[in-house]
Structure 1
Amino acid sequence: MENMFRLIDNDQEVATNRCIWVNGPVIVGAGPSGLATAACLREQNVPFVVLERADCIASLWQKRTYDRLKLHLPKQFCQLPKMPFPESFPEYPTKRQFIDYLESYASRFDISPKFNECVQTARFDETSGLWRVKTVSDAESTRTEVEYICRWLVVATGENAERVMPEIEGLSEFTGEVIHACDYKSGEKFAGKKVLVVGCGNSGMEVSLDLANHLAKPSMVVRSSVHVMPREIMGKSTFELAMKMLKWFPLWLVDKILLVLCWFVLGNIEKYGLKRPEMGPMELKSAKGKTPVLDIGALEKIRSGKIDVVPGVKRFNGNRVELVNGEELDVDSVVLATGYRSNVPYWLQESEFFAKNGFPKTAIGNSGWKGRTGLYAVGFTRRGLSGASMDAVNIAQDIGSVWKLETKQPTKRSTTSHRRCISQQF
């Protein structure tokens, strides 16, 4: 039984055994959240294993984003712990620059994820007091199943692990091309075509802008109210301005000031079909996690008529779409900018810390990173990359404090006793 286990640390190669004991936490996900946690654990001298279902780090950024994408916030709000962006990078780094930064980050902190390992299940074993994480790998046409045993489990799969596909009557019979925004790369191939963009968040706005810039004819579906704000006000980042005001003023007052400034900069956007919510932008973000749209040029295209704003979709019929107001449009292609969701409920067998929507039950605000029995979540507090970085620091310090204390104790619990406890269950 003993040869079924192999004690590993961060510098050792994981063997394809039936069961592997990890001397430290298992981190699920090698996106920015997982990398940040790994780097902070490295600083604490805590070994770890990072599991990643794709064949690269930050697969969302590398494989499921459009070409023109840039960070919507200034780089100082998007850098990960322990390593700032290069000074040569612009204030709003491009997609390629951000990927280069993440690859340099992984290299600097010697983070080598186990790629092509898709977690099937993760559950806490009450008998042994350990987590059991089962993965499947289909790399190189060979299916391999591995079970990792660990004391700590860090969920770093993020808020945007899976695309959301809306259920709209007739969509499956639509005769034109239908893609999700994660498969959209450029508007070049849509030149001259009538494209329906379903969704008006940051992705929907930017896809519509890109289509207009490539001489397509986009119609953007706006079903509900939305806060559109300029990315900058008087040469300063709107987000940075809001953060500074929140240090001195209550949230409701900051919202009032922001909306007045937005009115002066953008004018009345409701006459273009963009109705603002009753709740202010910062309050809405804090209460419901709904991010305001930061405009980078789409509003100018809407004003000039190069982007049409239309109400919700009722049904598709062939290559036509019927809107909720009764209007019908001829459409060549559809881009579903309908967002993403967490995939945690599909594999994590736990219901005390995580809710059915795949977020920690206390995800909004300053909590939501620590559960019971060694379970942690990073990047689920709806505060972007800066929030994920704060989670990573907290998690590493929490695990590190226990690790350092126990490694100094001569009577600390040995890995042999762990392995013996697990072995008895096979």
Structure 2
Amino acid sequence: MNTVIDTIVIGGGQSGLAALHSLRERGRTAVLLEAGEQLAGSWPHYYDSLTLFSPARYSCLPGLAFGGDPEHYPHRDEVVAYLTRYARELTRDGAQIRTGARVVGVVAAAGGGFTVRLADGQRMSARSVIAATGSFARPWLPPLTGADTFTGQIRHAAGYRSPEPYAGRRVVVVGAGNSAVQIAVELAAHARVTLASRAPVRFVPQRPLGRDLHFWFRLTGFDRLPLRRTGDPVPAPVLDPGRYRRALAAGLPDRRPMFTRLTADQVEWADGTRERVDVVLLATGYRPNLDYLAGLGALDADGRPRHDRGLSTSHPGLGYLGLEWQRTPSSNTLRGVGADARHLVGRLTARLGTGRVPART
């Protein structure tokens, strides 16, 4: 408690690592705290077949290329290896990273700044804090009429790994975004699957005119547009090489409007028919995982951060990284979080009135 750190970064995934890189570029003393033992965020816990929707050339953090064919679409395990390598390079360069350091609370310090409390009872002081813990640990479960009487299983896609446990079962996947469609199509080869959503699935060609969509995003500047959304997330269009549209057209899976209720072991569809279902799998997104800030008063009643493009509107020196639509459409992606990190660190430095610290030599 006698040493005051410039910045404590909470979370060792893509957002936290990008923040640490930007802080070191500005010569600020920083410590990254990661609750787990691996520095790859939520990536090791995603489903086995997950593949990025952006090519390797657009899927890297500042200072380190992804590697391999720049036009290939990296698999989940490639991303884990890349983030592990990124953390290792930061450590070799002198960055302070602590694993097994779970933050359980952040409070405002009497003399300014923050006190960060760890699960082991340790306390640390910092002039600023960057919350970069993502949202995977807080899956959103929408209210479903009759859920309390349903005898089947209701699961969130956060717990989905592979289709084998669902073989031969009747499954309804709820959602219309990329993950919902990917999982439903994969499951349809092993089970009888319906994709249920409130609105039709919107498809976007992954490679229009022979170039990946993200090439056109960069060319037009779309990824850098200062666009933000408020309220509940809206499913993004599904980036499709053609496979997913063909699968839905063939009824593998079939797509239906959202069911109206659950009852006993059945779902009731919009036309009033009922059907026995074994599993309802919710691919309905996530909410920011920021419980450790609850006592600080920085969150609204729904647990969402009060912020302006990542900078807290309630507490000087508090920032966020990795929020969906935080500053641009790509804010919570590998391709976008680096730019957000530079933006946030610059604003934090200016707000704290420290000016630019000379960079390391």
Structure 1-normalised TM-score? 0.72
Find 2:317's aligned residue among 355, 360, 374. 374
Q: Give the match's secondary structure for 2:260.
A: strand
CA distance in 1, matches of 2:307, 2:354: 27
Counterpart of 2:57? 76
CA distance in 2, matches of 1:399, 1:361: 12
CA distance in 1, matches of 2:58, 2:244: 23
Task: Give yes or no for the alignment of 1:107 onto 2:56.
Answer: no
Q: Which amino acid aligns with 1:343?
A: N
CA distance in 2, matches of 1:132, 1:194: 50
Q: Which amino acid aligns with 2:127?
A: R
The CA deviation at 1:55 is 2.9
Check the 8 A contact 2:150/2:264 in 1, yes or no: yes
Q: Which amino acid aligns with 1:292?
A: P
Kindly provide the CA deviation profile for residues 86-129 of structure 1, in whole angstroms up to 9, marking residues without a partner as x.
1346521110111100000000110564333332221223x301
Q: Give the match's secondary structure for 2:173.
A: strand
> How many residues align structurally?
342
Kindly provide the CA deviation profile for residues 271-329 of structure 1, in whole angstroms up to 9, marking residues without a partner as x.
xxxxxxxxxxx99x754564322125222111111211121122222321112331222
Counterpart of 1:295? 240
Task: Give yes or no for the alignment of 1:25 onto 2:7.
Answer: yes
Counterpart of 1:154? 130
The CA deviation at 1:215 is 2.7
The CA deviation at 1:168 is 1.4
Q: Which amino acid aligns with 2:194?
A: S
Counterpart of 2:117? 134
**Structure 1 residues 355 and 316: alpha-carbon distance in aligned structure 2, compared to 1, 3 A threshold:** closer
Find 1:42's aligned residue among 14, 24, 29. 24
Q: Give the match's secondary structure for 2:342.
A: helix
CA distance in 2, matches of 1:169, 1:228: 29
The CA deviation at 1:152 is 1.0
1:166-205 alignment runs, 5 A limit: 166-205=142-181
Q: Which amino acid aligns with 1:94?
A: H
Task: Give yes or no for the alignment of 1:244 onto 2:225.
Answer: no
The CA deviation at 1:369 is 4.1
Check the 8 A contact 1:36/1:389 in 2, yes or no: yes
Check the 8 A contact 2:103/2:292 in 1, yes or no: no
- In our comparison, the structure showing a higher alpha carbon Rg is 1
Structure 1 segments unaligned to the other structure (5+ residues): 7-20, 137-143, 252-281, 409-426
Q: Give the match's secondary structure for 2:193.
A: strand
The CA deviation at 1:394 is 2.8
Check the 8 A contact 1:121/1:347 in 2, yes or no: yes
Counterpart of 1:207? 183
Q: CA RMSD in A?
A: 3.0
Q: Give the match's secondary structure for 2:336.
A: helix
More helix by share: 1
Structure 2-normalised TM-score? 0.83
The CA deviation at 1:373 is 2.1
Task: Give yes or no for the alignment of 1:123 onto 2:91.
Answer: no
Structure 2 segments unaligned to the other structure (5+ residues): none
Counterpart of 1:339? 285
CA distance in 1, matches of 2:149, 2:40: 34
CA distance in 2, matches of 1:221, 1:360: 32
The CA deviation at 1:399 is 5.9
CA distance in 1, matches of 2:24, 2:123: 23
**Structure 1 residues 405 and 338: alpha-carbon distance in aligned structure 2, compared to 1, 3 A threshold:** closer
The CA deviation at 1:33 is 0.4
Q: Percent identity between the aligned chains?
A: 27
Kindly provide the CA deviation profile for residues 314-369 of structure 1, in whole angstroms up to 9, marking residues without a partner as x.
2222321112331222212221111100122552445568785524443xxxx334
Q: Give the match's secondary structure for 2:340.
A: helix
The CA deviation at 1:379 is 1.9
Q: Give the match's secondary structure for 2:115.
A: strand
Q: Which amino acid aligns with 2:319?
A: Y
Q: Which amino acid aligns with 1:374?
A: G
Q: Which amino acid aligns with 1:53?
A: A
Counterpart of 1:318? 264
Kindly provide the CA deviation profile for residues 217-262 of structure 1, in whole angstroms up to 9, marking residues without a partner as x.
1101111355321222132122332442357xxx9xxxxxxxxxxx
**Structure 1 residues 26 and 361: alpha-carbon distance in aligned structure 2, compared to 1, 3 A threshold:** closer
The CA deviation at 1:83 is 0.8
CA distance in 1, matches of 2:27, 2:218: 33
Counterpart of 1:271? none
Check the 8 A contact 2:26/2:358 in 1, yes or no: no
1:245-324 alignment runs, 5 A limit: 245-246=220-221, 286-287=228-229, 290=234, 291-296=236-241, 297-324=243-270
1:52-91 alignment runs, 5 A limit: 52-63=34-45, 65-88=46-69, 91=72
Check the 8 A contact 1:221/1:309 in 2, yes or no: yes
Check the 8 A contact 1:192/1:215 in 2, yes or no: yes
Kindly provide the CA deviation profile for residues 377-423 of structure 1, in whole angstroms up to 9, marking residues without a partner as x.
22221523333111222344456786676789xxxxxxxxxxxxxxx
CA distance in 2, matches of 1:134, 1:308: 49
Q: Give the match's secondary structure for 1:313.
A: coil
**Structure 1 residues 88 and 354: alpha-carbon distance in aligned structure 2, compared to 1, 3 A threshold:** farther
The CA deviation at 1:176 is 3.0
**Structure 1 residues 159 and 183: alpha-carbon distance in aligned structure 2, compared to 1, 3 A threshold:** closer
CA distance in 2, matches of 1:114, 1:41: 16
CA distance in 2, matches of 1:148, 1:58: 23
Q: Give the match's secondary structure for 2:29.
A: coil
Find 2:78's aligned residue among 94, 97, 118. 97
